[in-house]
Amino acid sequence: MWQGVAKPETPRDRAERRALETDLLDSPLAGKPLRQRLRNFRPGADAALRALGGPLAWMRRLRAIETTIELHETRLRERWGELLAAHPDDEAFEHEWRELARSWSFRDVNDLIDRHNRHFPTEARLPMNPRTGDFVHVNGRPYTRTPLDADWILERFPPHPPPEEPRWNRSPDNS
């Protein structure tokens, strides 16, 4: 550490200083006071310390929820196609698909959703709405997430084959 000792100017330092002086000659702001930046807040030391730690816990948890939901959707899409190809009868397919939807486990993502619903308001420092006594909405919607279940599956993957596709044309390659 140099602690108060002036370093000698290097050729690189001289070149940088000359380039800066040249840039200042052409600058329309040279010699004029800079516009004052007014802020409605003062950045605090706690915000700076939080910024050093990377994404906050609620941010990491929301990302994990989205990733896990995408994984479930991919696996369900594959199973939907497999069952559709395996069952030539619409009623048999519907029965098997509803049975699979009832037995599908969302324990991993529902645990994350439960933790999000419990801890997000305090971790994100959501303000309270004094009229309702509840936390304010985020982007116009409540912050809570709904746990996934069989109805969620049946909304995204209906228990009947698509109507535009004739039964006789269905094959495992284009399902």
Name which residue leads in pLDDT, 40 or 36. Answer: 36
pLDDT at residue 24 in the model: 82
Q: How far lies 130's CA from each of 118, 133, 141, in Å?
A: 20, 5, 17
Band of residue 124 on the pLDDT scale cut at 50, 70, 90: confident
Structure tokens at 34: 């800079």
Band of residue 161 on the pLDDT scale cut at 50, 70, 90: low
Mean pLDDT of the chain: 84
Structure tokens at 49: 């310390």
Name which residue leads in pLDDT, 23 or 3. Answer: 23
Q: How far lies 68's CA from each of 75, 79, 113, 118, 143, in Å?
A: 11, 17, 11, 19, 18
Residues 6+ apart with CB under 8 A from 150: 98, 101, 102, 104
Q: For residues 126 and 66, what is the distance between their CA atoms, to the nearest angstrom?
A: 21
Name which residue leads in pLDDT, 157 or 161. Answer: 157
3-state secondary structure of 150: helix
